[in-house]
């Protein structure tokens, strides 16, 4: 799979995408959008306010890992 990752610090958005024509965007969680192609296949993930969201997810995992 040819996955491209791009972070735009100006708007704090992280994009994960593979080639394809976007047909639909589904918000699965506030600030987390899935991009689907015409067949309904996942071709991209868009994370808004990425630094905050990732800190909330990764922070507790890092703490847990350091105590094990």
Q: What pLDDT, on the 0 to 100 scale, is given for residue 45? A: 95
Q: Is the pTM of this model over 0.75?
A: no
Q: What is the pLDDT of residues 15-63, one digit of tens each?
A: 999 999 999 999 998 999 999 999 999 999 999 999 888 777 767 766 7
Residue 68 has, within 13 A of its CA and on its CB side, a CA count of 6
Q: What confidence score (pLDDT) does residue 61 get?
A: 66
Q: What is the per-residue pLDDT for 57?
A: 72
Give me the residues paired with residue 44 across strands: 17, 35
Query: What per-residue confidence (pLDDT) applies to 54?
Result: 78
């Amino acid at each position: 799979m040819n996955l491209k990752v791009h972070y735009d610090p100006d708007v704090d958005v992280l994009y994960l995408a593979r080639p394809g024509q976007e047909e639909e965007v589904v918000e699965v969680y506030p600030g987390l959008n899935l991009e689907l192609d015409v067949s309904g296949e996942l071709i991209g993930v868009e994370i808004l306010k990425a630094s905050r969201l990732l800190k909330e997810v990764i922070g507790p995992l890092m703490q847990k890992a350091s105590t094990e």
